[in-house]
Amino acid sequence: MVDRLERLTNLVLVLLGDQRPKSLREIAEEVPGYPPEGETRRQAFERDKRTLRDGGIVVGTVSIDGPEQVGYRIRPEDFYLPDLELDPDEQAALNLAVAGVHLGDPSGRDALWRLGLPAPSAARPVAGLPALPALPVLWDALRSRAEVEFGYRGERRRVAPAMLRFRGGWWYLVGFDVDKQASRTFRVDRLDNLPEPGVAGSAMLPAEFDPMQAMADEPWRMGDGELVAVEIAAGAAVAALIEQGQPSAEVVERRPDGSVVLRIDVTNVAALRSWLLDYGEHVVVLGPPSVRAEMIAWLETMVAG
């Protein structure tokens, strides 16, 4: 009985070895451990191919002459990466980066393994970013300039992706919505399903598209709503914190009791409300009357509920 690891290792070496595509019969003759002819052999080979593919190794098929008609090989360009020519200090820096950033799975370590770089050293974490199944799919679409299709709040979207951006605790996809003919930003954790990438090169971005411009800086600037200037009063206990945290807000008044009146431009009132309520009784909306009334109504519903 041949260990499956041995069969897989030999399979990789044989398929990579000379670049002549080999039929399954030839493969079974050259790689020890396959069952004798028939359906079980085919199943064993298909299972091995799947294992290799899950591990990022692509077995290509080519039509060949002969009774079996299909030949298999691993093309070097599918197996190897061009040498990155990393200096020792660049390798060390990549190692430290992987050790210092937690992404919720060992993909970073796996990447270093595949590049033939030493495994990460133990280092104090510097940052933790949320991992989402959609991220590698979107990243691959970005690399191959492929359009992606996904559901977002129940609506089908076709998007030419321009950038993946982590900000304020969330991953965003910035891109050009093909149907709406406008730039849009999507929270990646809110996609209804795994995005389906189109063919490479299918993504058409307008020439002047600037992903940094396309995405607002604060949650309350992300909506499509009308721009309103909201005035808030922040009590002394939190005034310094809010001012430090909102450098773009305009200081309208500093009061003797230490509180501060600030003006903030908003296009998404719900996002602003959520942020303000996190400061409890320390922050009050002064105006405009519509936003103040909305806040009061929110609280009155709670009391009535």
Q: Which of residues 11-50 bind other proteins (CB under 8 A)?
A: 12-14, 17, 29-30, 32
The minimum distance between CB 157 and other proteins, in angstroms, equals 19
Distances (CA, A) of 234 to 78, 231, 259, 287: 58, 10, 5, 13
Using CB under 8 A as the binding rule, whether residue 105 contacts other proteins is answered as: yes
Using CB under 8 A as the binding rule, whether residue 1 contacts other proteins is answered as: no
Max Cα separation, the chain?
92
As beta bridge partners, residue 150 has 157
169 to 188: interface string for other proteins, x by CB under 8 A: xx------------------
Give the CA-trace dihedral at 222, 226, 227, 228, to 10 degrees: -120
| 189 vs 172: CA distance, rounded Å | 8
| 245 vs 249: CA distance, rounded Å | 9
Q: Using CB under 8 A, which of the segments 117-125, 147-155, 218-226, 256-264 binds other proteins?
A: 117-125
Q: Using CB under 8 A, which of the segments 61-69, 110-118, 178-186, 221-229 binds other proteins?
A: 110-118
The minimum distance between CB 216 and other proteins, in angstroms, equals 13
Binding residue (CB under 8 A) for other proteins from 28, 59, 73, 135: 135
Using CB under 8 A as the binding rule, whether residue 251 contacts other proteins is answered as: no
259 to 298: interface string for other proteins, x by CB under 8 A: --------------xx--xxxxx--x-------x--xx-x
Binding residue (CB under 8 A) for other proteins from 24, 103, 178, 205: 103
Give the tokens for residue 273: 């409300």
The minimum distance between CB 273 and other proteins, in angstroms, equals 8
Binding residue (CB under 8 A) for other proteins from 28, 137, 264, 291: 137
The minimum distance between CB 69 and other proteins, in angstroms, equals 23
| 130 vs 125: CA distance, rounded Å | 14
190 to 229: interface string for other proteins, x by CB under 8 A: ---------------------xx-----------------
Q: What is the CA radius of gyration of the chain?
A: 28
Cα 41 off chain centre by = 39
Binding residue (CB under 8 A) for other proteins from 140, 177, 265, 294: 140
Binding residue (CB under 8 A) for other proteins from 63, 181, 244, 248: 244
52 to 91: interface string for other proteins, x by CB under 8 A: x-xxx---------------------xxxxxxxxxx-xxx
Helix/strand/coil for 157? strand
Comparison of 115 and 251: residue with beta carbon closer to other proteins: 115
Using CB under 8 A as the binding rule, whether residue 6 contacts other proteins is answered as: yes
Q: Which of 191, 189, 185 is nearest to 221 (CA)?
A: 185
Q: How long, in residues, is the chain?
A: 305
Q: Which of 246, 282, 238 is nearest to 266 (CA)?
A: 246
Is-cis flag, bond preceding 288, omega within 30?
Answer: yes
Give the tokens for residue 263: 């003006």
* Residues 234 and 280 sit within 8 Å (Cβ to Cβ): no
Q: Using CB under 8 A, which of the segments 10-18, 61-69, 146-154, 177-185 binds other proteins?
A: 10-18
Using CB under 8 A as the binding rule, whether residue 255 contacts other proteins is answered as: no
| 238 vs 243: CA distance, rounded Å | 9
